[in-house]
Amino acid sequence: MEQFRLPKIDMPPLPLPQAIRDVLNEAEARLAHRPKLQKLFRNCFPNTLETTTKLLSGGTTFVITGDIPASWLRDSVEQVIHYVPFAKDDADLQRIIAGLIRRQMEYIKIDPYANAFNEFESDWHWNTTDETEMSPWVWERKFEIDSLCFPIRLAYRYWKETGRADIFDAGFKETMRAIIDLFKTEQRHFEKSPYRFTRNNGILHDSLRNGGLGMPVNYTGMVWSGFRSSDDACDFHYNIPGNMFAVVVIRHMQEFAEWVFRDMALLAELKELETEIDYGIRLYGICRHPEFGPIYAYETDGYGNYCLMDDAGTPGLMSIPYLGYVSADDPIYRNTRRFALSKENPFYYEGKVAKGIGSPHTPPDYIWHMALSMQGLTASTAEEKLEMIALLEATDADTGFMHEGFHADDPAVFTRKWFAWSNSLFSQLVYKAMKDGLLDG
């Protein structure tokens, strides 16, 4: 078996837009009484622009994950989403974000089943043993429902924040059509889908069982997904937080159809699709836990089987309000949150220095910084938000950055020292707490 060799990409730091420099200056003053947190924010907030972003000809933008020189549709959105609120009056920031949206729309048209792409037709791939319909543009072709949701989320947020509609060209509408068609196909995966994926590397969570088709599912109205946001294979292929995210972005696309493209037939089609998926979530995606009562499942197959867990990645159960499906005071979400932050969640860990959610993607007892940041962003009390910030501040292993997972007993033992998404999510939490006055001395 031939393993991939990590290619090198020249990624010179971008000059920081003035709006970003203004935020850093504000934080320098307001966090002066907390020098370590001040340093962490100064490092993490601009990290995406300083280390992972490249402006390309044709007005597009390429964003790598950090230590992997490819662009994940999901990661690249979350790496820049914290910049969107500052883009309204900054032309340089508009160029960066609108360029990424245009690039993502092009990628989805190339292959809507792929999750990660190359800068050009380099024929670089994460693994050369993958049995699926690869393209020279595609770094990895694990179908994850959220990969199609995040670019729409970014386009919607950018449109609402800046009022600019220049991203909504004919190519954008073609990409919307590709997403809708794929969602409809994957509502009936076994009857209609051409997608197959196996990887011959001996790692079970890297392949779909049943000849690359995945395990059997019943029709529910929800959209089938091969893999989770962690890039691990689903146990049961209706991922509930992923389908919730799909409902949210279908609502976004309804606004595009009505107010940008003035296409009432498309609007009606999207409303029907939203209704089908949401009905499936409500009917099949809720189960009764003996301790916590009704909770949202992580996955189901539509036959009454459930995967009860939460993963540190987004979308996950913790991130449901962050995605916009329900608010943090939704009763079932509150039950689900209590479950996710308990030992009933098989990926919740408590150690000598930290407690929080990890992932089957990393070893046991590894807590993810992203999970702590998300717990803070979705917390309903100032006390919990501040607790998460203090925990994040204390577990950077004195590197000045966030990581992927760290050992609950020893933060100096961690994975991925350069993981821009984690830095960006942390920055969102700190900036929001700062603006809310929670970090004032």
Q: Residue for token digits 């107010």? A: 259
pLDDT tens digits, 308-337: 999 999 999 999 999 999 999 999 999 999
Do 251 and 274 meet the contact criterion of CB atoms below 8 Å apart? yes
Mean pLDDT of 330-351: 98
pLDDT in the model for residue 12: 80
CATH architecture of 53-342: Alpha/alpha barrel (1.50)
Residue among 13, 20, 12, 17 nearest 45 (CA): 20
305: phi > 0 → left, psi -120 to 50 → alpha, else beta; which?
Answer: beta
Domain with CATH 1.50.10.10 in the chain: 53-342
pLDDT tens digits, 154-211: 999 999 999 999 999 999 999 999 999 999 999 999 999 999 999 998 888 999 999 9
Cβ neighbours around 318 below 10 Å, total: 27
The alpha carbon of 433 is separated from its chain's Cα centroid by a whole number of angstroms, namely 21
pLDDT in the model for residue 308: 98
Cβ neighbours around 269 below 10 Å, total: 18
Confidence of residue 8 (pLDDT cuts 50, 70, 90): low
pLDDT tens digits, 402-412: 999 999 999 99
116: β partners: 72, 140
pLDDT tens digits, 280-306: 999 999 999 999 999 999 999 999 999
Residue among 395, 321, 324, 326 nearest 358 (CA): 395
Cβ neighbours around 383 below 10 Å, total: 10
Cβ neighbours around 399 below 10 Å, total: 14
Which pTM value belongs to this model?
Answer: 0.96
pLDDT exceeds cutoff 90 at 10: no
Residues of the chain with pLDDT > 70: what percent?
98
Cβ neighbours around 191 below 10 Å, total: 8
Cβ neighbours around 5 below 10 Å, total: 8
Residues sharing a CB contact under 8 Å with residue 289, sequence separation 6 or more, in sequence order: 295, 308, 335, 339, 344
Do 21 and 45 meet the contact criterion of CB atoms below 8 Å apart? no
pLDDT exceeds cutoff 70 at 13: yes
Instruction: Please give the mean pLDDT across all residues of the chain.
Output: 96
Q: Residue for token digits 């109205």? A: 221
Mean pLDDT of 272-277: 98
pLDDT exceeds cutoff 60 at 373: yes
pLDDT exceeds cutoff 60 at 3: no
Mean pLDDT of 272-279: 98
DSSP label at residue 256: I
Residue 256 amino acid letter = F
pLDDT in the model for residue 441: 75
Cβ neighbours around 413 below 10 Å, total: 14
Element holding 357 (H helix, E strand): strand 355-357
Residues sharing a CB contact under 8 Å with residue 320, sequence separation 6 or more, in sequence order: 241, 244, 296, 326, 330, 333, 336, 378
Confidence of residue 9 (pLDDT cuts 50, 70, 90): low
355: β partners: 350
pLDDT exceeds cutoff 70 at 4: no
* List of long-range contacts for 250-257, beta carbons under 8 Å, 24+ apart: 250/183, 250/274, 250/277, 252/152, 252/153, 252/155, 252/156, 253/152, 253/176, 253/179, 253/180, 255/156, 256/155, 256/156, 256/168, 256/172, 256/176, 257/176
pLDDT in the model for residue 5: 53
